Amino acid sequence: MTQTVNVNFRLDAEVKKQMEEVCEEMGLSMTTAFTIFAKKVIRERSIPFEVEARDPFYSQSNLAFLRKAVAALNAGEGVEHELIEDDT
């Protein structure tokens, strides 16, 4: 028989409540949900979702658009606008 251990960590009360509700809708306990997460981390040797803290402005699609616009301006194909100042 596999030995189990307790793992303690802190969660915001509202996050815990919402997690319990979602798990219940799926017919899972939080223990089962976290066990699934842990086994997936072990199997894949990574977090099974993207974790990032970056500005969405610098997404690959935005950067590609900006590079294309700069190239067009440099080639004389773009339209330059005067600076628009915020009156606030």
Q: How does pLDDT run across 62-81, given as a tens digit for each residue?
A: 888 888 888 888 888 876 66
Beta-sheet strands, E only, within 1-88: none
Helices (H) and strands (E) in the chain, counts: 3, 0
- In the chain, % of residues over pLDDT 90: 49
Statement: the pTM of the whole predicted model exceeds 0.75: no
pLDDT over 70, % of the chain: 89
pLDDT of residue 87: 67
Mean per-residue pLDDT of the chain? 86
Q: Which residues contact 56 (CB under 8 A, 6 or more apart)?
A: 62
